[in-house]
A and B are shown apart, each in its own frame.
Chain A
Amino acid sequence: MASSLRLGNMPNLPGATEMGGRVRASKLKGKGDNKAASKRAELLLRLQLESNPEALCLVRATLQSASEVLHFPESDSRAIVRSVDEALANVVRHAYSGRAGLPIEITCRRLWGETPASEPRGLEIVLEDSGAAADPKKLRGRSLQEVRPGGLGLHFIKASMDVVEFSRKNGKNLLRMVKYLAPSKPEEKLGGE
């Protein structure tokens, strides 16, 4: 199982191998758009792995640490971990039809507010694979009224993240997900006094 990990400036995570610079973020779209779009994004980490189900636990542990470093509340951290795990499982099972050893890339960026002094606003995660194009009908998810196995992964992702966007570019599937941080309260900024 091949995998590599590139980390941006997250000193709390071990094994940092590459410092990430701030890059321009693409304009945000989706259900989180009622909040102002972030102008800036900062590379936190880039994971390259293969379509092996055994790799999922490593990705979950990494995303768990990343979300804790960004001070997401516990339930939001679980939501992030769950979404990335379900998205990866979909790539392995559907885009790559269960074949192991095929490439998947995960890029995580910290989103910032409008001004240099503003606080971090959230986490953007982009999954990229070279598998079969997703069927748009299957991207709608299924009704939960029916009690049957299967078809829940996409529902979990949509219910857990603020922005979920699928696209296909240069023969690759891209899934972009964003989770916003709740704005901190004034007393939290003052160290809880």
Chain B
Amino acid sequence: MLIASRQLQGCVILDISGDIDLAHSPEMRKVLLGEIKGKHTLKLFLNLKNVRYIDSSGIASLVEGLKASRDNGSRLILFGLSPSVREVMELSRLQKIFEIYDTEEQALSS
């Protein structure tokens, strides 16, 4: 798994690629919470276009990030979910809990 960070229109976008599984979800959790709690990023976007797989530990990290962003009064926004990631979101019944958009353009204009 790789995480690259970029700033656009005053927001932070994390481009995540690879598999978010038991071996890698702790790293994603650390980066997410670092942005939300440490840097107080008000609008954090996760680009999941190149995430091939996410497991329940990855979903747990996203939920932690969402809770932290709500506590902070900030927003955590996901976009570009692959069928595999979308399926897991639906299985978890979290697709309506998260802000999810198909494309980066749609997410940025939200």
Residues of A within 8 A of B (CB): 53-54, 56-57, 60, 74-75, 78, 81-82, 85-86, 89, 92-93, 144, 147-153, 155-156, 159-160
Interface of chain B: mostly helix, strand, loop or mixed: helix
Q: Known contacts A78-B87, A149-B61, A156-B91; is A56 also within 8 Å of B21 by CB?
A: yes
Say whether A147 contacts B63, CB under 8 Å. Answer: yes
Residue count of chain B within 8 Å CB distance of chain A? 23
Q: Interface 1/0s, chain B 51-85, versus A by CB < 8 A?
A: 00101110111011010000000000000000110
Q: Known contacts A78-B84, A147-B63; is A155 also within 8 Å of B91 by CB?
A: yes
* Chain A residues near B97 (CB-CB < 8 A): 147
Q: Which residue of B lies closest to A88 (CB)?
A: B22
Say whether A54 contacts B63, CB under 8 Å. Answer: no
Say whether B19 contacts A57, CB under 8 Å. Answer: yes
Other-chain contact of B23, A54, A75, A144, A152 (Cβ < 8 Å): A54
A59 to chain B, nearest CB (A): 10
Say whether A149 contacts B64, CB under 8 Å. Answer: yes
Q: Known contacts A57-B23, A60-B53, A85-B21; is A152 also within 8 Å of B87 by CB?
A: no
Say whether A156 contacts B23, CB under 8 Å. Answer: no
